[in-house]
Homo-oligomer: A and B are copies of this chain.
Amino acid sequence: MTENSFEIKFNKIAIVGLGLLGGSLAIDLRLLSPDIEIIGIARRQETLIEAELLKIDDIKIFSKLSNDITDCAGCDLIVLCTPVQTIIDQLAQLSSFVKIGTIITDVGSTKRAIMNSASAVIPMGIYFVGGHPMAGSDKAGLSHAHAGLYKGATWALCENEKSGESVDKLFELIASLGASPIIIDADSHDDVVSLTSHLPHLVASALVNAVFSSNYEELALPFMAGGFRDTTRVAAGNPALWRDILMTNRDRVLTSLTKLIVELSIWREALQTADEPYLEALLSNASERRVMVNKVRKWKSIE
């Protein structure tokens, strides 16, 4: 077990939903402390069995595993790592039994629906902070969970009137994972990720469907090289998870999608009119910007 100078301010943490995000979080928390209690909650029996076997240096990652969310009772911190609609349902469930002083957070990819739900259902004395670590992957599930997933990842935190001082505690915990906490309002968050995450997912998926509904479905396979594979990688993600994301950010995704369709029409016009200089200018703009993104140092966690 690695010695770590960070002292976790929580004694008993529940992680609800043991996929890539929940599983990786549990591993990192266990690496930070061999002593804290970590409760894992999952619906599927196979997941619970897989979670039971997770160990680091002979110390089990999970102190207790259960398929019953009421086993979160008595925890200081509850982290909901399920799809957005499930998080909303679970907030209502939790509000009926968690103890005063509990901090609840989540890792859902959209934040307005969750923040609104928390405002409505979380009782006085319970704290809630919305969260969104930018560390998802098409390689989902507990089997892909690993230490250090959050290193260098932006982790958005959204406050509301239920948050109180719990934000500071979460900020510190997230930074100790090597992630970069950013406090942002739910509106801005949902706007920004509609462009940087939801639109890319939608476009990658549409691209796959367009190619596969062409006349070249089979001939195309050997011609799906690195460019195609990179551009469409995210489309392999979990459909139900992404349905929830797109549905709970519908208005913003629609605005972003319309923006992209307008942009594509500009490219179409440049091609139709064979406007070489303009086409090259469009390509140059994109290339310079994308090279710049490569150069941006990943947001650094607080040392």
Contacts and interface: CB of A to CB of B under 8 A. Distances in A.
Interface of A: 134-138, 153-154, 156, 180, 182, 184, 188, 191-193, 195-197, 199-214, 216, 219-240, 242-243, 246-247, 250, 253-254, 256-261, 263-268, 271-272, 274, 276, 279-280, 282-287, 289-291, 293-294, 296, 299
A192 B221 CA distance: 9
Q: Return the 6 tightest CB-CB contacts between A and B, nearest first.
A: A205-B286, A134-B225, A239-B283, A200-B231, A236-B290, A239-B284
B299 A222 contact: yes
- List the number of copies, as a whole number: 2
B286 A208 contact: yes
A109 B254 CA distance: 34
Please classify the interface of chain A as helix (H, G, I), strand (E, B), loop, or mixed, using the class held by over half of its residues.
helix
A228 B286 contact: no
A203 B234 CA distance: 15
B293 A206 contact: no
Contacts of A231: 200-201, 203-204, 230-234
Nearest to A238: B287
Contacts of A228: 196-197, 200, 293
A195 B220 contact: yes
A263 B200 contact: no
